[in-house]
């Protein structure tokens, strides 16, 4: 039992992030756009759920029965607390991949998720997971898997190895993990100050190290300091998954399907000359210098006819989830910012501005004829989804079933906002998933739930919490020091939230 963590960092807590790519409903628009029949998901599994925010939000916000495991007992305890508080039915275990994957009491799954796991675990655990996918993912089921890729890590990987080695051999005995992380970063930065030839040959390393220095030390401990850490190419992973009957469907990142955001005309022409799909996908990672892949794979793709695809797509429901007057006509990808044509997007946003669900078919009927091409319209939706302006919507029965469960989970999370600031998501019964909600906005929602009326009352409530947490507001880079200034600034934020944020929270079913 001395090596129960199997080389994975276990001494520091993982972060409390929410990852929307693990929402089974999110696969619907993408799979249909690729001509693949999405599965009807009733059972799902997350391997390595971390603190359990994602798995609990998805279990609460949909009728899907979720299972999962995480080897860290402290993380599992927090995840089980959320499951119990919400009554979402999630079955969450504290087991190794070997033990969990060997269980005989688990159902077969329509959806299995592996976020940030594959590149950080031992070959033995990868084998246990591969066997699990072969046995437990249903025909037609979907795998979500994310992993570090070789192309984007080529220059940084040796630095990562150097930091991990420093943590093992240069840290003083008894130093805690976060001290070892800081010491390793300091060492590498001091090495860079000597202007090593490695830096001259790889000038982007300086920016990467600056970005690393600004990140959460707990995250860095898990991301960079595991014993097993290995970026992998798409072409190397494909045969592993093909051996368990999985076929690559496509990237889970919306932006990857809007070519002008990431690939120049020269890139596209070059890729078009590559007949082999696997080699083409691998080459594209070099063209965009991809560091992290997020992909959907299907166990037996069921291809739709053109008529079936168009019919299913027209039935998909979407909802605007951003203030329409704050949506910019720019989208960002690997090539930088790209302009969006207002003449094309503004009529669509005007239709969605009632913050009600609309089917794609309905929107197409109401748009000008020159816009109502399904292929072009899908590109518009993918751009807006990439900008987190729209989200897919469940049917009304699923929304009604999820609403009381998400209400309990959200109230539990909002209560925690009194004493912590790191739980930055709430559950939406409308989208079947999570929504990013900043700590200050959570306090405004909590104040409203407790009967405080109006933005000034919400600001006063938030200020009391800020004072208890020994926090103050920052305005234009300046820390506000007086109670009067803090209250005034909080009132500005509260009024903005009342006008712009609250209607969206209500549309999403997060609050009444």
Alpha-carbon 88 to chain mean position: 20
pLDDT band for 2, please (50, 70, 90 cuts): very low
pLDDT value at 366 more than 90? yes
Using alpha carbons only, give the angle 12, 17, 23 rounded to the nearest 5 degrees.
Answer: 135
Same domain, 161 and 112: no
pLDDT band at 6 (very low <50, low <70, confident <90, very high): very low
- The 10s digit of each residue's pLDDT in 382-416 is 999 999 999 999 999 999 999 999 999 999 999 99
**What's the whole-number average pLDDT of the chain?**
93
pLDDT category at 74 given cuts 50, 70, 90 is very high
Tell me the per-residue pLDDT of 205-231, one tens digit each, with 9 for 90 and over. 999 999 988 888 888 887 778 778 899
Per-residue confidence at 7, pLDDT binned at 50, 70, 90? very low
Tell me whether residue 136 is in a domain. yes
Residue 190 lies in a domain: yes
Say which residue the tokens 């995840």 belong to: 79
11 occurs within a structural domain: no
Mean of pLDDT values over 167-195: 86
Residue 231 tokens read as: 């970026």
Pair (50, 136) in one structural domain: yes
| Rounded distance between C-alpha atoms, residue 448 and residue 457, angstroms | 9
Same domain, 95 and 128: yes
Identify the domain boundary among 188, 209, 224.
Answer: 224
pLDDT band at 368 (very low <50, low <70, confident <90, very high): confident
Q: How confident is the model at residue 14 (pLDDT cuts 50, 70, 90)?
A: low
**Residue 10 pLDDT:** 44
Let me know if residue 485 belongs to a domain.
yes
Q: Which residue did the predictor score with more confidence, 13 or 149?
A: 149
Q: What is the pLDDT of residue 4?
A: 36
- Give the 3-state secondary structure of 318-359: EEECCCHHHCCCEEEECCEEEECCHHHHHHHHHHHCCCCCEE
Query: Has residue 419 been placed in a domain?
Result: no
- Among candidate residues 178, 193, 224, the one where a domain is terminated: 224
Whether residue 42 is found in the same domain as residue 175: no
Q: What is the pTM of this model?
A: 0.92
What is residue 11's predicted lDDT score, i.e. its pLDDT?
47
Question: Is 313 a member of any domain?
Answer: yes
* 276 and 354 belong to one structural domain: no
SS (H, E, C) 470-498: CCCCEECCEECCCHHHHHHHHHHHHHHHH
Last residue in a domain, options 207, 224, 241: 224
Structure tokens, 301 = 């793709």
Same-domain check for residues 140 and 156: no
What are the pLDDT digits (tens) for 432-467? 999 999 999 999 999 999 999 999 999 999 999 999
Same domain, 327 and 349: yes
Which tens digit of pLDDT belongs to each residue from 462-495? Answer: 999 999 999 999 999 999 999 999 999 999 999 9
User: Is 94 contained in some domain?
Assistant: yes
CB within 8 Å of 410: residues ≥ 6 apart: 426, 427, 510, 511
Number of domains in the chain: 4
- Whether the predicted pLDDT of 503 surpasses 60: yes
Q: Which residue intervals of 170-264 are DSSP H helices?
A: 177-193, 197-201, 205-213, 217-224, 234-242
Q: Give residue 174's pLDDT band: very low, low, confident or very high (50, 70, 90).
A: low
Q: For residues 262 and 290, give the distance between their C-alpha atoms in angstroms, rounded to a whole number.
A: 10
Q: Are residues 344 and 324 in the same domain?
A: yes
Q: Is the pLDDT of residue 337 over 60?
A: yes
Same domain, 444 and 330: no
Please indicate, yes or no, whether residues 214 and 248 belong to a single structural domain of this protein.
no
Please report the beta strands in 325-460, taking only residues with DSSP state E, as ranges in sequence order.
330-333, 336-339, 358-359, 390-392, 425-428, 433-436
Same domain, 143 and 159: no
Domain of 185, in residue numbers:
152-224
**Does the residue 10 lie in any domain?**
no
Do 277 and 325 sit in the same domain of this protein?
no
- The CATH number linked to 286 is 3.40.50.150
Torsion-angle region of 140 (φ positive above 0: left; ψ -120 to 50: alpha; else: beta): left
Section 5-21 average pLDDT = 67
Q: What span, in angstroms and rounded, lies between the C-alpha atoms of 118 and 388?
A: 27
- The answer, yes or no, to whether residue 8 has pLDDT greater than 50, is no
Lowest-pLDDT choice from 111-115, 177-181, 224-228: 224-228
CB atoms within 10 A of CB 174: 6
Is the per-residue pLDDT at 509 higher than 70? yes
CB count within 10 Å of CB 265 equals 9
Q: Is the pLDDT of residue 3 over 60?
A: no
Q: Encode pLDDT of 263-285 as tens digits.
A: 999 999 999 999 999 999 999 99
**Once rounded to an integer, what is the mean pLDDT over residues 55-78?**
97
């Amino acid at each position: 039992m001395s090596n129960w963590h199997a080389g994975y960092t276990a001494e520091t807590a993982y972060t409390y992030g929410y990852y929307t790519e693990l929402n089974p409903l999110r696969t619907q628009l993408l799979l249909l756009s690729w001509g693949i029949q999405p599965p009807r998901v009733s059972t799902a599994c997350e391997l390595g759920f971390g603190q359990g925010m994602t798995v609990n939000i998805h279990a609460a916000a949909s009728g899907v029965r979720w299972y999962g495991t995480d080897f860290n007992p402290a993380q599992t305890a927090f995840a089980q607390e959320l499951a119990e508080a919400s009554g979402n039915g999630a079955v969450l275990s504290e087991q190794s991949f070997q033990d969990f994957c060997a269980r005989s009491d688990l159902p077969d799954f329509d959806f299995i998720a592996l976020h940030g796991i594959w590149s950080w675990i031992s070959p033995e655990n990868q084998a246990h997971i591969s066997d699990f996918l072969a046995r437990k993912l249903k025909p037609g089921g979907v795998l979500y898997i994310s992993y570090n890729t070789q192309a984007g890590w080529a220059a940084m990987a040796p630095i990562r190895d150097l930091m991990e080695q420093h943590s093992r051999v240069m840290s003083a005995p008894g130093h805690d993990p976060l001290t070892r992380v800081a010491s390793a970063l300091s060492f590498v930065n001091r090495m860079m100050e000597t202007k090593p030839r490695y830096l001259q040959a790889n000038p982007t390393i300086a920016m990467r190290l600056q970005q690393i220095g600004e990140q959460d030390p707990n995250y860095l401990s898990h991301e960079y300091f595991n014993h097993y850490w290995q970026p992998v190419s798409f072409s190397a992973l494909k045969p592993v998954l093909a051996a368990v009957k999985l076929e690559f469907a496509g990237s889970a990142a919306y932006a990857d399907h809007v070519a002008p955001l990431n690939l120049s005309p020269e890139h596209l022409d070059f890729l078009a000359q590559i007949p082999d799909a696997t080699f083409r996908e691998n080459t594209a990672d070099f063209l965009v210098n991809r560091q992290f892949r997020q992909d959907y794979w299907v166990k037996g793709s069921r291809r739709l006819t053109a008529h079936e695809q168009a019919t299913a797509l027209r039935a998909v429901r979407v909802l605007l989830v951003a203030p329409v007057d704050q949506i910019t006509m720019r989208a960002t990808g690997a090539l930088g910012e790209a302009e969006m044509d207002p003449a094309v997007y503004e009529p669509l946003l005007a239709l969605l501005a009632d913050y009600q669900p609309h089917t794609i078919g309905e929107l197409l009927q109401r748009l000008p004829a020159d816009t109502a091409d399904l292929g072009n319209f899908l590109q518009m939706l993918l751009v807006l989804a990439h900008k987190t302006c729209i989200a897919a919507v469940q049917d009304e029965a699923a929304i009604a079933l999820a609403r009381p469960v998400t209400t309990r989970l959200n109230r539990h999370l909002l209560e925690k906002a009194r004493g912590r600031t790191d739980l930055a998501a709430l559950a939406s019964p409308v989208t079947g998933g999570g929504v990013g909600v900043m700590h200050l906005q959570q306090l405004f929602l909590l104040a409203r739930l407790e009967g405080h009326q109006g933005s000034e009352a919400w600001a006063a409530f938030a200020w009391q919490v800020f004072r208890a947490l020994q926090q103050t507001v920052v305005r234009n880079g300046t820390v506000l020091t007086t109670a009067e200034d803090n209250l005034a600034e909080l009132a500005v934020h509260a009024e903005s939230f009342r006008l712009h944020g609250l209607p969206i929270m209500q549309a999403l079913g997060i609050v009444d």
